[in-house]
Amino acid sequence: MMISPQLYVEELANKSYNELLIERDELIKKICDFENGTGEDINAITKPSPDTMYQCHLQYLSELCKLILAKYRKETLKHF
Record the pTM.
0.85
**Has residue 10 got a pLDDT over 70?**
yes
- Sign of the four-CA dihedral 54, 59, 60, 65: positive
- Judge residue 44's burial from the number of C-beta atoms within 10 Å of its C-beta, 0-12 exposed, 13-18 middle, 19 or more buried: exposed
Residue 76 — pLDDT band, cuts 50, 70, 90?
confident
Across all residues in the chain, what is the average pLDDT? Answer: 90
**Has residue 42 got a pLDDT over 60?**
no
Segment 54-70, tens digit of pLDDT? 999 999 999 999 999 99
- Domain regions of the chain by residue span: 5-77
Eight-class DSSP state of 13: T
Segment 11-28, tens digit of pLDDT? 999 999 999 999 999 999
